Structure formats: structure tokens, C-alpha cells
Chains A and B, each alone.
Chain A
Amino acid sequence: MSADAARASDVIELREVTRSFGDVVAVDHVSLGIRQGEFFALLGPSGCGKTTTLRIMAGFERPSGGDIYLRGRRVNDVPPYRRETNLVFQQLALFPHMDVYDNVAFGLRVKRRPAADIAGSVRRVLQLVDLAGYERRRMHELSGGQQQRVAIARALVNEPAVLLLDEPLGALDLKLRLQMQRELKAMQRRSGTTFVYVTHDQGEALAMADRVAVMQLGKIAQLGAPEHIYSRPATRFVAHFIGDTNIIPVTVRDRGADGAAILDANGVRFAATDADMRPGEMRHISLRPEKIRIAAAHAARPDGHGGTVTDVTFLGPLTRYEVSVAEGLRLVVQTQTDSEEHFRKDDRVSLSWPPSAAVVLKD
């Protein structure tokens, strides 16, 4: 095999792909591989380069540097209309002068498939997206969710190697969005198609994806399974972006007998199982609010840290406390509203957490 050959299991591979617009580097040396049949999410805040990355995969943007492989073939110079990818546009881009059937059949028609084949494929894909019977509807006669499904059907009918989706649920209201999330995931399983899904909504990415790449300023900050990214964030940015967390600056004091590090945050000492730190080093850790146990001061555990409740917010099933533990160290704690004891402002409490809960960050 030539040196160009990509890994066989990856449908799409980006190698050191860069894309600049003038001074703005929208995509900065991104390397990643997307596996056959997986649901892959590109997650990041607005402007971090997700759309540009997706448009490079679709062929609408040419990389300024690096290479892109589709099924092992270098496709840097292949125009969109000769690529086995299909894009579900953020604004859908449905053809308003055509009905549902003509929209879905468009790709097969320009490829000059026989009409009978086209009819069969369109029927099957409309069944898959639950739109059988809507063939002759025009775009403005459909609800937002139905238009969404037409856009997906129009792409899926071409049996692309990868289906690319750019914030496809962004325009929908919350309830419909949750329903479409489930439907999309089901469609992906039924069709067995590889999905690359761009979103700025971390809940959406965690709920749907097999793997997630978190992007920041054109770079990939972390790539992995959703549970992994949630429980072991690599950087302060990822920890903050995925869910609520306490970021605590710490100094490494010592290494315990079991290999755990002893950390110090403004005089508050605790252990962290994460290794690879030298005593004296300054680091940040992430401590998820729901990993912290809160108890009354008189029932304190031996490893508990005393503190005072400074704020209580009722969130329905959950209750959120802010607890001042030491000078300059204030922790957010979240508990199940009905299972735990309740505290009020100015109550004395004791906080504790297992060493595995303190995740040491790279930066």
C-alpha cells in the first residue's frame, strides 16, 4: 500500500487539515478518523470551526493545508457533486419549487437512475423517515419537523458513505428537538449509515453520539466516548463546556502511599487518583457538583471539609448549593431534592468526595 492509504476502518480521515480565511484560522491542524457506521458528533461553541470542518468533508471548502480521505481515497480536489457524502444543511435548503417526492428524487435524477429504481428508493427512504403518503406535499405545507425529515431523506436516498449534518435541529423548539433527537438516532441505527453531526448543544451530542470531538478555536480539544469526556475532561475548556463543574486551582503537596496525589487548594487538602504530577506543581482540577456529598456539620465524616452554605437554588428534581469552604474557595454542590437532607443559607455543613472525583486537567 502507498503511504497515502488511510486506515481501512475509517470512512473519513482528516490529516493535519487546516483552513484559513485571511487572518482567521477556522480549522487548525485537525486530525481525526471517523469509523464505519458510527454516530460521530463535532461539538463546540459558535465560531469554533465546526461548520468549516463539515464543509471540508462535503467538498464546499478546500483545505489550505493537510489531506482528507474518503474511503481511503484522497479527495482534496473532488468537487461536492462527485463525492459520496451528503450534507443536511443547517437551514435545510429544500427546493421550494419542488414537492417532497421531487426533492428526494433530485440526487438520483441528476445521476440518471432509471425512473422505476428512483420510485422504489424514494418510497423506501420516505418510509424510513416516516413520511410515506406525503410525496405530493410542497415544502410550505410541512411542519418544521417534517421539513427536517425531508432534508434527511433527500440526503439518505443517495446512500452516502457519510451523512453530514450541520446543527439540523437548531431551528426547532425544545420539545420537537428532543423527539427528533430520538428519531435521528433510530434512523441512523436502521440505515446503518455513518453520521457526522455538528452541534453546539452538549446535551444533544452526549445523548446521540457514539463518539464526540470537542472543538475549540479550530482545534480538537478532546475526542472520545461521551461518558469518557464527561467523567474525564482533559482541559478546563472541555470540563466547563460539558456540564456544570467546579474548576479548582491546586498545588501538588505530596504523593500518598497508594500512588494518589495529595493536593492543596487554599489550605483545603484532599487526594486525587490521577497520577503523573510532581510535588510543587500548580494544576487545575475539575470536580463535578453531583460528585460532592453534603452533610450536616455534626455528622461530618473524617475526610469531610467544613463550610458554610452561602446560597441555595431550587431546580426541581435537583437542589444546588454554594458552599464557602475556605477563604477564596467556594464549591457548587448538587443533590437530589427528595433524597438528601435539606440545608439553608448560613448552615454549617461538611463536604466530602472520593479521590476519583477530582479530575486533574492538562492545563
Chain B
Amino acid sequence: MLAFIARRRAPLQLLPAFALTAGVFAAAMLLLFSYSAFTFRGGQLTEEVSFLAWQKFFTDPFYFGVVTKTLQLALEVTAAALLIGYPTAYALTKVRSAKFLVAAYIIIFSPLLVSLVVRVYGWLLLLSDNGVINQALLAIGVIAAPIRLIYNETGVVIALVHILLPFMVFPILSVLLQFDHALREAASDLGANRLQTFLRVVLPMSLPGVVAGCQIVFTLAISAFVTPELLGGGKVQVLSRAIWFNVVDVNWPLAAVEAIVLLALALAALALFDLAARSLRAMRPTGSPRPRRDSPGGFIDAFLRIVLFAVLAFVLSPLVFVVINSFNGSAFNSFPPQGFSMQWYQFVLGYAQFREGMVNSLIIASASTLVAVAAGMLAALALTRGGIRGRGILNAFFLSPLVMPRVAIGIAVFILLIRLRVLGTTGSLVLVHAMLSLPFALVLLTASLVNVNRTLEEASMDLGAGPLRTFWSVTLPQIRAGLVVAAVFAFITSFDETEASIFLVRPSNTTLPIQMFLYLEQYQNPTLAALSTLLIAATIILVVVALRFVRGAELARLVARR
């Protein structure tokens, strides 16, 4: 009955999500393509079709260098993330204490919850010449003069690995957690020792997770903008920065060409990794997985434990030093801190730009969360129960903003909003952020809806509750956890959005992360540390409150899965 009603209303339910994705995202991308053919001459943009921008991009060796640098950086980041991420995921599967496991999960995924600019700022504190690492090395006499860790590629790679590590750990971990322990025992029974078992059985079977992790990390790394911009010191010339400078120069055709090339690179990388995933043999287990029964020990486990603690320290350290520095008495981010002071907090609270940015960000994040979750809920209902044809294509369409580099979306939407004469308005930012959050909401809500026990809904209707009543009192309670997680994800996505929004704001109407980005480009003092500490505290409160809602369901399932 519910399915029947859903079927009749399915097209209507899809409308909000479709309008958001087509009206904002698809329209902007089409406009981007057309602008790449326009002409920029003598500092002027004209709508004359010439393909000069394409010609310049493919003949000027400078741009070839930019593309190679972009790919090289992404490769380095992916390799480093894999090297750290695999042992981390493996070590997590060995953790026996449920409490420690939950703590480790939260720490490893915490970079996703903390503003991008805050994380970059933390790495500035750690890596700069008078930063923690150099000062510590100088103090123990390992080096005589500070070594350059930022304003070059090293710093950019370190910070990107830090930011992208969860995307590597999570897919590998989920494959390893589903690993049937009986297979390990079977290998042992057939004469394989622990190393042979790992190399011949565990590693090959976890390759799908490795490929998925590399795919996400590589795709996100080629389009990173804030990190190379702030930590590269102008020396790490990647495509995203070229786009940014061309937009500032009003050379939109060239920026459009660069965005399209970036998009093509991202799609090519996705396709290549997909090919790799498909070439891996089908790995359907023959039985249902059995949890592990024995408890091997030994030095391998000791080694894994050390790796895990080192990674947790790596993930936490930038945030920890941000908090420490916020109480620094000196104005130069010096380490160790010189005296204790609350002056930076006073400054933050009195700084009008931050206050306005904060208010704007809260309004935009709340409104866009509401829009994204509502549109996502309706679309998820239609997609899971509507019996719609072409569900796969629709789903791919709704998820497509995920694979587009944020910088490319930024320039495309920028052109669209200029044409519509709404650039910089709060409403436009709400819709853009809702469009960016919609894929997350849709994925999470669809996953929850698939798990809903349909018999309960039928029982409810059998007892006389109508479809709306049934949805409200039977379906909704079952997907509460998914709903909360979707809302938190959407809120954080919007609140933290920098790389697209930086094209879309007006100086008079800016969001908080962009105020922070602009501040960081100009000043180097602990003001940002104080602001970041406040944001971290707010995030912790948000997560704790969210966990209260999710606890019983999702968290227990997460731990019980092992």
C-alpha cells in the first residue's frame, strides 16, 4: 500500500532533488562548457566564439607543467596515504577493546569533522620554521638550522595525507572487517604460516578496498585547492590554483578550460580505478562470514599497535597544537608558547568579520541542511520504493556533484550566478550548498531505508494507520540514526565549504571558513588558533549530541560487525 502510493507519487517526490541537481549543478556545468569557447583578449572578456583558450592551454608548455605537477602531487599523496592507511586499517581490525575501538574510529575520522582551514592552520603551526617540529629538533640538537617543511611540496603532501587518510582507511577497513576468519584458518590448516596467509589470502582479498581507497584519495587530491594554496607558498603550481588566478584575472574562458581539464582528469582517474576494480576477480565468499575465534599475539601485533598509536598521534597533533597555541602569550605562533594569554579569544569575539561570517555560516548551513535532507528524504523514498525505471541513471545523476572537483563546480556556478545576477546572495549560497550536500544525504538515507523492516509498516497499516501516519510512527523511528548522520554530514559539508564558495561570496557577505582563509593569507598570529579551538569545541558538542541519537543503533552495529 505504501509502495503503491509511493509509486504514484514518485515523480513528484523526485522533483526537489532533481531541480537542485539539474538547476544548479547541470546548468552551471553546461554554461562552463560554453564559456570555454569564448574569447579573452586584451584583458577583456567577449562572447565571441574562438577556442583561443583551448589553443593556449594545449600549446603553452606552462600548462603542461601544471597538469604534470597536479598528477604527480596526487600520486605522491595517494601512495603515502596507502602506505599509512593499510597498516592502520589492519591494526584497527585487531583492536579488542570496544571502547578503544570507538575512540580510535572517532580520532581517525575527526579530520573530516574539523574545518579544512583549521587543519591547514594546524600544519602551519607544526611545520613552520619556528614551529613545533623544527623547534623540537633544534632543541635536541639534531639540526643546526630549521629545515623547510612548508611553502614547498613536502608540507602540502603531509597535510593532504592527513586530510585524506580517512578516505583510505575506511574502504580498506570495511573490506577487512567483512573478511571471513575461517579463510585464515583454512590457510593455516593447509600449511600456510602467518606471512603466507597474509600475502596469499588476506592481501589479495582486500585489494578491492585498496582500489576504492586509492580512487577516492586520488580524485580528491588532484582537485585540492586550499591546502596547496596556503601551504605551498606559491611553489606548488597545480590546476586548482591556476583556475583561481584566472578567475581573479577575469580570464574565464581559460579558467573554464582548466576546470574542464581537471574534470576530465578526475573522470579518467575514476574510470581507470573502476577498470582495476573490475579486473579483480569476483570475490563472493561461499559461506557467511564467521568472526575470529583465536587470539594470536606476537611481535607483528605489537608492531601494528605501534603503527596505530603513531597514526593516531599524527592525526591528532595539528588539532592539539592549535588548541595549545590559542593560549599563546606571543603574537608570532612561537613554540614553545611564551606565557599564557586569553587575548586571542577576546580579539576573535570582538572581530566583526568573524562574527558576521559565523552568523552567515550558521544561517546558510542550517537552511541548506534542511533543504538537502528534505529533498534527499523524498528522493530516497522514491528511489527505494517507487518502482521507478532508470533508477540507476537517476541515482548517478544525483551523485554526480561528488565526482566533480569543488574548484570546477565553484567557477561554473560562479558564472551561472553572475548571469542570473544573484551572485553573493544568501539564498544562492543556500541552494549551492544544498546541492553539494544532497549526494551525502541521499546515500545515507537510501541505505537506512533499505534496512527498514517492511513487515512492520505492513503491520501498522493492517492496524489502521494511513501511509503518512505509518511513515511518521513506524518508518521514521527505524531510520532515525541515518537521518541524524545525514543531517550532521550536510551541516558540516556546508559549514566547512571553502573551495567552491570562495568563488561565490562577496566581501560584504562571506562565510566563516572563507574569512579564516583570507585572514590566514594575510596574518600569522594565534587569533585563528582561538577561533579554531572554539570551532573544535562546537564540533565535539555536535558529535556528542549526535552520538546520543545514534548510539543504540549505528554505533553498536559498527562494533558488533566485528
A110, B192: Cβ atoms under 8 Å?
Answer: yes
Q: Does B84 contact A (CB under 8 A)?
A: no
Question: In the complex, what residues of B have CB within 8 A of residue A147's CB?
Answer: 286
B193 to chain A, nearest CB (A): 6
Question: In the complex, what residues of B have CB within 8 A of residue A139's CB?
Answer: 284, 286
Q: Does B294 contact A (CB under 8 A)?
A: yes
- The digit string for A58-70, where 1 denotes a CB below 8 A from any CB of B, is 1111000000000
Q: Which of B186, B290, B293 has the most chain A CB within a 10 Å cutoff?
A: B186
- For the complex, what is the distance from the CA of A206 to the CA of B299, rounded to whole Å? 47
Q: Does A96 contact B (CB under 8 A)?
A: yes
Q: Does A107 contact B (CB under 8 A)?
A: yes
Of B187, B189, B192, B283, which is within 8 A of A58 by CB? Answer: B189
B192, A81: Cβ atoms under 8 Å?
Answer: yes
- For the complex, what is the distance from the CA of A287 to the CA of B284, rounded to whole Å? 50
Interface size class of chain B, counting residues whose CB lies under 8 Å from the partner chain:
20 to 34
B189, A106: Cβ atoms under 8 Å?
Answer: no
Q: Does A154 contact B (CB under 8 A)?
A: yes
- For the complex, what is the distance from the CA of A158 to the CA of B189, rounded to whole Å? 10
Q: Does B287 contact A (CB under 8 A)?
A: yes
- For the complex, what is the distance from the CA of A87 to the CA of B182, rounded to whole Å? 11
B200, A92: Cβ atoms under 8 Å?
Answer: no
Of B187, B190, B283, which is within 8 A of A158 by CB? Answer: B190
A96, B191: Cβ atoms under 8 Å?
Answer: no
Q: Does B458 contact A (CB under 8 A)?
A: no
- The digit string for A86-115, where 1 denotes a CB below 8 A from any CB of B, is 110111111111000000001100110000
B282, A140: Cβ atoms under 8 Å?
Answer: yes
Count how many chain A residues have C-beta atoms less than 8 Å from C-beta atoms of the other chain.
32
Of A61, A97, A158, which is within 8 A of B281 by CB? Answer: A97
- For the complex, what is the distance from the CA of A61 to the CA of B293, rounded to whole Å? 9
Q: Does A37 contact B (CB under 8 A)?
A: no
Residue of A nearest to B293 (CB): A60
- The digit string for B267-301, where 1 denotes a CB below 8 A from any CB of A, is 00000000000001111111110100110000000
A357 to chain B, nearest CB (A): 44
Give the interface SS of chain A, mostly helix, strand, loop or mixed.
mixed
Question: In the complex, what residues of A have CB within 8 A of residue B183's CB?
Answer: 93, 95
Q: Does B201 contact A (CB under 8 A)?
A: yes
Residue of A nearest to B296 (CB): A79
Q: Does A224 contact B (CB under 8 A)?
A: no
A170 to chain B, nearest CB (A): 11
B180 to chain A, nearest CB (A): 7
- The digit string for B196-214, where 1 denotes a CB below 8 A from any CB of A, is 1000110011000000000
Question: In the complex, what residues of A have CB within 8 A of residue B190's CB?
Answer: 81, 86, 106-107, 110, 154-155, 158
Residue of A nearest to B287 (CB): A91
Of A58, A81, A90, A93, which is within 8 A of B191 by CB? Answer: A81
Of A80, A89, A95, which is within 8 A of B201 by CB? Answer: A95
B533 to chain A, nearest CB (A): 46
- For the complex, what is the distance from the CA of A8 to the CA of B190, rounded to whole Å? 26
Residue of B nearest to A164 (CB): B189
Q: Which of B189, B282, B286 has the most chain A CB within a 10 Å cutoff?
A: B189
B185, A60: Cβ atoms under 8 Å?
Answer: yes
Of B187, B192, B200, B283, which is within 8 A of A96 by CB? Answer: B283
B282, A138: Cβ atoms under 8 Å?
Answer: yes
A94, B286: Cβ atoms under 8 Å?
Answer: yes
Chain B, range 197-241, C-beta contacts under 8 Å to A? 200-201, 204-205
- For the complex, what is the distance from the CA of A154 to the CA of B285, rounded to whole Å? 16
Chain B, range 164-201, C-beta contacts under 8 Å to A? 180, 182-183, 185-193, 196, 200-201
B286, A87: Cβ atoms under 8 Å?
Answer: no
Chain A, range 30-44, C-beta contacts under 8 Å to B? none
Question: In the complex, what residues of A have CB within 8 A of residue B182's CB?
Answer: 89, 91, 93
Question: In the complex, what residues of B have CB within 8 A of residue A87's CB?
Answer: 185-186, 189
- For the complex, what is the distance from the CA of A61 to the CA of B189, rounded to whole Å? 12
Question: In the complex, what residues of B have CB within 8 A of residue A90's CB?
Answer: 287
Question: In the complex, what residues of A have CB within 8 A of residue B193's CB?
Answer: 81, 110
A97, B283: Cβ atoms under 8 Å?
Answer: yes
Residue of A nearest to B280 (CB): A97
Residue contacts A-B, CB under 8 angstroms, 9 given: A81-B191, A89-B185, A90-B287, A91-B286, A95-B183, A95-B205, A107-B192, A111-B191, A158-B191
Q: Report A's interface with B, CB cutoff 8 A.
A: 58-61, 79-82, 85-87, 89-97, 106-107, 110-111, 138-140, 147, 154-155, 158, 171
- Ranked nearest first, the 3 interchain pairs of A and B with the lowest CB-CB distance are A91-B287, A107-B190, A93-B182
Known A-B contacts: A60-B293, A92-B287, A97-B281. Give 7 more (CB < 8 A). Answer: A80-B188, A80-B189, A81-B190, A93-B185, A96-B284, A106-B187, A110-B196
